Homo-oligomer: A and B are copies of this chain.
């Protein structure tokens, strides 16, 4: 048995929202209540930006009903942030906040940038002799974190995307119009996991079902090949349905989309318009109508169409983080491990925070078929279990009933932090 560490737990959320990030939060809170060594359960508002400003709330003040409701409420109930800690004094400030509030357990729900932040906070607290156990909980619709079979959030977004593709396919098919090119742009800045997941709209026994063509950031984009692909599909189909990941790259490694040239706080290019770009090609070179559906932000928040499997795993990851920290471990991120058996099983594992930080996992080349526009049987086998089951979101007056945290503030103990 490890030595019992008495103190408070802080949980925070970071990066882009997903449909199930709050299920992980619910998992953390639910599990933390089981352990007497955890005295207070605090939430940090707006990710690391709020923690810097000592903006903490008392999660034990929230009702049981609210905590239960978190499981199907999309986006980040604690608030999130894309703010990136850079200055040494900011890291020191975080540790000062932790000391002031006796934070001994820190669960950080986020993507690879957040795991980097978590690792550095942990390192500094060791240097400053503050015993702290830091566990990361993976979260991203992009599914691009290494070391985990998949990430919570991914199953739900591809369930929504595949559902929307099936519905749009009915719409396209019903239009008398021939030679319609229907282009669906989905999320995925650095990887094509979301675009690839749209293949689940196809019936297993009907490989020619829509979507007919899938373009991933993993495959350098050739306009000539694209136009030939579309023409080939339209020889046998009345319409051509294309799914494209927003982060599509040309043969020189530049985004094909008309980039605004702007970058976010992490230096990532702000994207827009891979779908519009493809539609432009189709209209200019083939004289055909290109209809673009950009699924945009609704796709990452679509709790009403989320995957029960994904939701359960997100909750499980939250629980596992607390149990791991209580058990004496630190500097790890929870992973999801797939069982070897014929039928899908999933349990949690651990990986070093450092190994996840700033790394990106792409769709393996061997899972992309030779035509470069469809996914292999191995991909189908990988992704299909992740979208199984439908979360039964409760409805009130015909719309989903989501919860909001009461956000009872914890009294601040420190002077205000000098903001960047």
* Chain A interface residues toward B at CB < 8 A: 13, 17, 46-47, 49-50, 73-83, 159, 162-164, 166-168, 170-171, 173-176, 200-201, 204, 291-298, 300-305, 307, 384, 387-390, 395, 397-400, 402, 404
What is the chain B residue whose CB lies nearest that of A404?
A: B173
Smallest beta-carbon distance A300→chain B, Å: 7
Contacts of A305 in B (CB 8 A): 304-305
- Chain B residues, CB < 8 A from A75: 167, 170-171, 173-174
Which residue from B50, B76, B293, B307 sits with its C-beta under 8 Å from A398? B307
Give the distance to chain B from A307, nearest Cβ to Cβ, in Å. Answer: 7
Q: Give CA–CA (A300, B167) in the complex, Å.
A: 9
Indicate whether A77 sits within 8 Å of B200 (C-beta atoms), given known contacts A304-B305, A305-B305. no
Copies of this chain, complex-wide, total 2
Q: How far is the CB of A335 from chain B (nearest CB, A)?
A: 23
Contact B17 A171 (CB under 8 A): yes
CB < 8 Å neighbour of A384 from B13, B176, B398: B398
**Least CB distance, A76 to chain B, in whole angstroms:** 4
Given A75-B171, A167-B301, A304-B305, 10 more contacts at CB 8 Å? A50-B176, A74-B170, A75-B167, A81-B175, A82-B176, A164-B298, A293-B296, A294-B294, A387-B398, A387-B399
Chain B residues within 8 Å of A17, by CB? 170-171, 174-175
Whether A162 touches B301, Cβ cut-off 8 Å, given contacts A17-B174, A50-B176, A74-B171, is no
Q: Is A174 touching B294 in the complex (CB atoms < 8 A)?
A: no
Please judge, given known A-B contacts A162-B398, A397-B384, whether A83 and B168 are in contact too, CB under 8 Å: no
Nearest-neighbour CB distance to chain B for A56, whole angstroms, equals 15
List of B residues within 8 angstroms of A82 by Cβ: 176
A55 to chain B minimum Cβ distance, whole angstroms, is 10
Complex: how many Å from CA A81 to CA B75?
A: 39
Task: Assess whether B384 is in contact with A74, with CB atoms less than 8 Å apart.
Answer: no
Which residue on B lies nearest to A300, using beta carbons? B171
Whether A81 contacts B398 by the Cβ 8 Å rule is no
Instruction: Decide if the interface of chain A is mainly helix, strand, loop or mixed.
Output: mixed
Beyond A77-B174, A176-B81, whether A304 also contacts B399 by CB under 8 A is no
In the bound complex, CA of A83 to CA of B177 (Å): 10
A79 in complex: contacting residue of B77, B174, B388, CB < 8 Å: B174
Give complex CA distance A300, B79 in Å: 31
**Bound CA–CA A201/B200 (angstroms):** 30
Residue of B whose beta carbon sits closest to that of A13:
B174
Nearest-Cβ distance from residue A288 to partner chain B, whole angstroms: 14
Within the complex, the shortest CB–CB distance from A374 to chain B, in Å, comes to: 17
- CB proximity of A275 to chain B, nearest CB, Å: 10
Determine the distance from Cα of A404 to Cα of B238 in the docked complex, in whole angstroms: 15
Q: Are B74 and A163 in contact (CB under 8 A)?
A: no
Choose from B47, B50, B167, B398 the contact partner of A389 (Cβ within 8 Å): B398
Contact of A304 with B80 at beta-carbon distance under 8 Å, contacts A170-B17, A295-B298, A398-B200 already known: no
A163 / chain B contacts, CB cutoff of 8 Å: 304, 399-400
Can you spell out 20 A-B residue pairs with CB atoms less than 8 angstroms apart? A46-B176, A74-B170, A77-B170, A77-B174, A79-B174, A80-B174, A83-B176, A164-B298, A166-B402, A167-B301, A167-B302, A167-B400, A168-B298, A170-B402, A173-B404, A200-B397, A293-B298, A294-B296, A387-B397, A390-B395
CB distance from A183 to the nearest CB of B (A): 11
Nearest first, the 10 A-B pairs at minimum CB distance are A387-B398, A81-B176, A76-B174, A46-B176, A75-B170, A75-B174, A167-B301, A171-B301, A75-B171, A293-B296
Cβ–Cβ < 8 Å partners of A73 in chain B: 170
Interface core residue of A162, A166, A399, A400 (most chain B CB under 10 Å): A399
CB distance from A205 to the nearest CB of B (A): 11
Residues of B within 8 A of A159 (CB): 398-399
Closest to A46 in B: B176
Chain B residue contacts of A402, Cβ below 8 A: 166-167, 170
